[in-house]
């Protein structure tokens, strides 16, 4: 008969073995598998702070910052002197844009490890970021008093130098020839002249502003419609989608379902290409807002830095304004509900309520607009807290009720990396589609898009692999301190 002590010992040994396996999975960028193995180790021995902190790090890699904060907090409770616990929690807070909370955690790291140069450097970066935010808050103009930056720009007055050899828009109309030339220039890492960039963004703004918050799309019988998920600045993979599925046109229309920018370092090329197609043929290109079409995300995850580098400071303001004009949801043939994140924390939400959302603002921290942009499906029924720390998780019963109450058949959403580029969940009633293959050059996932043909609108899902891109790393333009933690 084995004693309690021996049992505890063998559990601890087995937990250590699982931790080592988890570490291997982590090194191979198999973060879901790592989380699973760390969880098994924690089940056998939940008093080891290292397991919790390691699992927190794997959650960070999966952008599950809410779960990472919980795990890191647990590590700190077990061992208040364990600096990695504070370090991981600080990194998760940073990724969520919670700079003041992050600052407190890095101050703790520094207190525990006063002579660690790395801790000192990170604390300094964090202090700088918090100071900058406090300064920006102090000088911020209230939304109601803010003048539109778009109204102050007249692109007609901008001179195009004779030596400029790139794509040109003749007059007021964006043509297919122009878009093809621009895409080709981008492919060869050439820039578009600011005059034409202004013209595209300002024209796209006018079109998007005039659209409803929930857009109804009609696909005639025998015609098809393609839905793509997150592209995240992966311009060369966007070109590959057009290679595989044809350029956007009235006969070949697309909906890009949010998160066009950030993380990938060709976000300017992606957004100008999508906006140019919108200008060329409004019914060939539909665009939904994602959680990354927002100032706070663009500040952290690279788009703001990239825009300053490739265009100018004023474009940062302009894009922020245009992102607030993006519709939040689309319904195809009164059957398919398409939204970036997912469903709601309450039952009974009607399409009419979504139509009534005043979307012309930065995304709020709660409510319908926040949930549309941030929430995720979960395998278990009911609702749960979000892994991300924003929005919520919702089960198959929630999906089914929402569809029944609104006389719909399917939810299509994006927002999450999937190994095959897509996943069908909730008894076939919900599909996630994600179109950034080998996300951040490290996830090894495929991308996908979905083609629907009327009248059946059966989802025809096409998966594709990443294509090579020039040697500019993801997050190359991201805020300094975030790069320190990635």
Per-residue pLDDT of 15-49, as tens digits, reads 999 999 999 999 999 999 999 999 999 999 999 99
Reported as a single tens digit per residue, the pLDDT across 145-175 is 678 899 999 999 999 999 999 999 999 999 9
Run of H or E including 460: strand 458-464
The CA R_g of the chain, rounded to the nearest whole Å, is: 24
Reported as a single tens digit per residue, the pLDDT across 381-418 is 999 999 999 999 999 999 999 999 999 999 999 999 99
In this prediction, residue 101 carries a pLDDT of 93
Is the pLDDT assigned to residue 86 strictly greater than 70? yes
- Residue whose C-alpha is closest to residue 124's, from 116, 136, 83, 80: 116
**Residue 485 pLDDT grade (very low, low, confident, very high; cuts 50, 70, 90):** low
Beta strands in 201-292 (DSSP E): 214-217, 224-228, 254-256, 285-287
Q: 354, exposed or middle or buried, with CB in 10 Å at 0-12, 13-18, 19+?
A: buried
Reported as a single tens digit per residue, the pLDDT across 255-305 is 999 999 999 999 999 999 999 999 999 999 999 999 999 999 999 999 999
The Cα 330–Cα 333 span in angstroms is 10
161-485 to CATH, choices 2.40.37.10, 3.60.21.10, 2.40.110.10, 3.40.366.10: 3.60.21.10
For 281, list phi and psi in degrees, rounded to 5.
-145, 95
Is the pLDDT assigned to residue 1 strictly greater than 60? no
More confident of the two residues 4 and 203: 203
The Cα 404–Cα 414 span in angstroms is 21
The Cα 26–Cα 294 span in angstroms is 30
In this prediction, residue 228 carries a pLDDT of 99
Using omega within 30 degrees of 0 as the cis cutoff, is the peptide bond preceding 455 cis?
Answer: yes
Reported as a single tens digit per residue, the pLDDT across 307-331 is 999 999 999 999 999 999 999 999 9
**Torsional class of 142: left (φ above 0), alpha (ψ -120 to 50), beta (otherwise):** beta
What's the order of all strands across the beta sheet hosting 447-453? 285-287, 254-256, 224-228, 447-453, 458-464
- Residue whose C-alpha is closest to residue 239's, from 476, 464, 3: 464
- Residue whose C-alpha is closest to residue 214's, from 439, 393, 368, 364: 368
Reported as a single tens digit per residue, the pLDDT across 205-260 is 999 999 999 999 999 999 999 999 999 999 999 999 999 999 999 999 999 999 99
The architecture (CATH level 2) of 4-139 comes to Alpha Horseshoe (1.25)
Lowest pLDDT segment from 96-100, 184-188, 210-214, 393-397: 96-100
In this prediction, residue 125 carries a pLDDT of 82
The Cα 34–Cα 37 span in angstroms is 5
Alpha carbon separation from 85 to 55, 92, 105 (Å, rounded):
11, 11, 9
Reported as a single tens digit per residue, the pLDDT across 135-144 is 877 887 766 6
In this prediction, residue 123 carries a pLDDT of 87
For 450, list phi and psi in degrees, rounded to 5.
-120, 130
Q: Which residues contact 61 (CB under 8 A, 6 or more apart)?
A: 26, 29, 31
- The residues assigned a catalytic role are 292
Intervals of CATH 3.60.21.10 along the chain:
161-485
Strands 447-453 and 254-256: unpaired
Asked whether the beta carbons of 451 and 226 are under 8 A apart, the reply is yes
Is the pLDDT assigned to residue 484 strictly greater than 80? no
Average pLDDT, rounded, for the chain: 94
Q: 397, exposed or middle or buried, with CB in 10 Å at 0-12, 13-18, 19+?
A: middle
Intervals of CATH 1.25.40.10 along the chain:
4-139
In this prediction, residue 4 carries a pLDDT of 58
- Residue whose C-alpha is closest to residue 421's, from 392, 451, 446, 444: 446
- CB atoms closer than 10 angstroms to residue 62: 18
In this prediction, residue 245 carries a pLDDT of 98
> What is 324-390 written as a DSSP string?
TTS-SEEEETTTEEEESS---SSS---HHHHHT---SSSPPSSSHHHHHHH-EE-SSSSEEE-TTSS
Is the pLDDT assigned to residue 336 strictly greater than 80? yes
């Amino acid at each position: 008969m084995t004693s309690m002590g021996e049992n505890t010992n063998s559990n601890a040994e087995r937990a250590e073995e699982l931790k080592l396996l988890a570490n291997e999975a982590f090194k191979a960028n198999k973060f879901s598998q790592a989380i699973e193995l760390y969880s098994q180790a924690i089940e056998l021995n939940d008093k080891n702070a290292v397991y919790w902190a390691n699992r927190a790090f794997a959650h960070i890699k999966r952008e599950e910052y809410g779960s990472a904060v919980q795990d890191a907090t647990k590590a700190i409770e077990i061992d208040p002197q364990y600096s990695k616990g504070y370090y991981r929690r600080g990194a998760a807070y940073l990724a969520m844009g919670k700079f003041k909370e992050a600052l407190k955690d890095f101050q703790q790291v520094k207190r525990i490890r006063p002579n660690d140069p790395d801790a000192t450097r990170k604390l300094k970066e964090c202090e700088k970021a918090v100071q900058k935010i406090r300064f920006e808050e102090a000088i911020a103009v209230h939304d109601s008093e803010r003048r539109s930056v778009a109204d102050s720009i007249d692109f007609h007055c901008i001179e195009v130098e004779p030596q400029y050899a790139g794509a040109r828009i003749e007059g007021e109309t964006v043509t297919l020839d122009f878009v093809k030339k621009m895409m080709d220039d981008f492919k060869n890492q050439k820039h578009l002249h600011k005059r034409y960039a202004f013209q595209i963004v300002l024209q796209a703004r006018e079109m998007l502003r005039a659209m409803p918050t929930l857009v109804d799309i009609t696909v005639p019988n025998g015609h098809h419609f393609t839905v793509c998920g997150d592209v995240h600045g992966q311009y060369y993979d966007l070109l590959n989608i057009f290679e595989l599925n044809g350029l956007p046109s009235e006969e070949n229309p697309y909906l890009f379902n949010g998160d066009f920018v950030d993380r990938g370092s060709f976000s300017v090329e992606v957004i100008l290409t999508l906006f140019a197609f919108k200008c060329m043929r409004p019914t060939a290109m539909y665009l939904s807002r994602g959680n990354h079409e927002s100032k706070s995300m663009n500040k952290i995850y690279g788009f703001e830095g990239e825009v300053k580098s490739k265009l100018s400071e004023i474009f940062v303001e302009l894009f922020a304004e245009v992102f607030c004009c993006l519709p939040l949801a689309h319904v195809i043939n009164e059957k398919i509900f398409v939204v970036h994140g997912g469903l709601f924390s309450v039952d009974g939400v009607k399409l009419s309520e979504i139509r009534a959302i005043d979307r012309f603002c930065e995304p709020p921290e709660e409510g319908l607009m926040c949930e549309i942009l941030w929430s995720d499906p979960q395998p278990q029924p009911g609702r749960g807290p979000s892994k991300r720390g924003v929005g919520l998780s919702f089960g198959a019963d929630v999906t089914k009720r929402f569809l029944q109450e609104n006389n719909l058949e399917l939810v299509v959403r994006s927002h999450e990396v999937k190994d095959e580029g897509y996943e069908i969940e909730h008894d076939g009633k919900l599909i996630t589609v994600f179109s950034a293959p080998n996300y951040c050059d490290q996830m090894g996932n495929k991308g996908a898009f979905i083609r629907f043909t009327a009248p059946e609108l059966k989802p025809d899902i096409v998966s594709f692999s990443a294509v090579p891109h020039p040697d500019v790393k993801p997050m190359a333009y991201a805020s300094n301190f975030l790069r320190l933690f990635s």
